[in-house]
Chain A
């Protein structure tokens, strides 16, 4: 029943991508409502009055906000198919820890790479590679962060792969040189339909981010 699940969405948002991936992994039908953040809908303001941000999942009329909280909600409600979190509390804690690490580090650092220049950008590039190397350490030789199965930490991180072209072009570097394991992991994730259908084309994201950058520079 498509009208039971609505996603207040934004094609370019890595956070919305997380939710789209989770919904696709579970085979959940839903209605996507694309938001214009410069002209937020009354529905968005009503469903997320605290942050007024996307993504928001509306399930049977009730809103769930914050991308990782939404992904956990989806995993718990549609628990019989493709579990995203492992079953053992230790492994679950590990998955949550690394998703939290992604939340704390990747968005803000990545943004500095495509949005700034000069010393600030150089420092951000270094920090980003450092964070990616830490993640590679955690990944090890496993196909996915949770082991053999695509899961919560993968969902939290893979949307930022859509930023790679923009970051590499702006920062004049190749992420694969410093982070070959991570890029291999990303390509492996992209082989999943849930991921490839949820992530926009990297060039399209690059153009979008450059538009954002112009606006930021103008301020």
Chain B
């Protein structure tokens, strides 16, 4: 059955990479369209996501879906191989809870802590560490948040596994250390070591250069454009 699957994304966006990872995990072929989210969003993107005007957008047989977590649930319901959500409603609710926690609390706190000016840093770091501590507890010694295999929460936590370490290197401030968060630290390794995950991550040096430029240019937070 030929079906048209397209992803409108941005190379450096953890949110659009989530969608690509989920499609790859399920063996779904797709066409990728890179958007210039900072300077020149395409008319197609604006047509397919008129409400938020952001990446990622999944286009399946001409129908657009926006918001990465909504897209992930759609992918799960449409392509049944390699499930990323548990079947049991309670376990599913827990996975959704952690994915929402990541998006609503964790990622904003980590982002803020990464880029805070000196005088705000202590409080921002404290909040970020609280989030990481909560995640450490949620992982509960499992190999992945999803258990034995990568699931929705692992995919949603991709920022922590890859982007966070690079931001730490660019800024010189450490948030996620093996000493403070041993299970979460180990998880980042397990996650990026999966070959399918590795293929779906942006190149480290390119991201590092991007973040170093950001520090030099002291831009406003780009996450709004890329979510």
Contact = CB atoms under 8 A, between A and B. Distances in A.
A97 B90 contact: no
A76 interface: yes
B206 interface: no
A73 B71 contact: no
B70 A93 contact: yes
Contact of A97 (B60, B66, B89, B96): B66
B207 interface: no
A93 B57 CA distance: 12
A92 B90 contact: no
A141 interface: no
Contacts of A65: 97
B74 A72 contact: no
Contact of B97 (A59, A69, A92, A97): A69
B67 interface: yes
A216 interface: no
Interface string A63-80: 011100110110011000
Contacts, number: 53
B51 interface: yes
Contact of B77 (A66, A92, A97, A100): A92
A100 B67 CA distance: 9
Given A100-B70, A134-B51, A93 B65 contact: yes
Interface in B112-130: none
B97 A66 contact: yes
A76 B89 contact: yes
Nearest to A57: B93
A50 B96 CA distance: 14
A111 interface: no
Contact of B51 (A64, A92, A93, A101): A101
Given A69-B100, A97-B67, A89 B92 contact: no
A135 B90 CA distance: 31
B199 interface: no
Interface string A29-61: 000000000000000000000100000000100
B181 interface: no
Interface of B, helix, strand, loop or mixed by DSSP = helix
A96 interface: yes
Contact of B78 (A64, A69, A89, A134): A89
Given A50-B134, A90-B63, A73 B93 contact: yes
Contacts of A66: 96-97, 100
A192 interface: no
A8 B171 CA distance: 43
B93 A93 contact: no
Given A50-B134, A93-B65, A73 B90 contact: yes
B160 to A, nearest CB: 16
A100 B92 CA distance: 18
Interface string A85-114: 000011011101100110000000000000
Given A100-B67, A134-B51, 16 more contacts: A64-B90, A66-B100, A69-B97, A70-B93, A72-B96, A73-B90, A73-B93, A76-B92, A90-B60, A90-B74, A93-B65, A94-B65, A96-B67, A96-B70, A96-B73, A97-B70
Closest 10 CB pairs of A and B: A89-B77, A76-B89, A93-B74, A73-B93, A96-B70, A93-B65, A69-B96, A64-B93, A89-B78, A97-B70
8 contacts: A66-B100, A72-B96, A73-B92, A89-B74, A89-B78, A90-B63, A96-B73, A97-B70
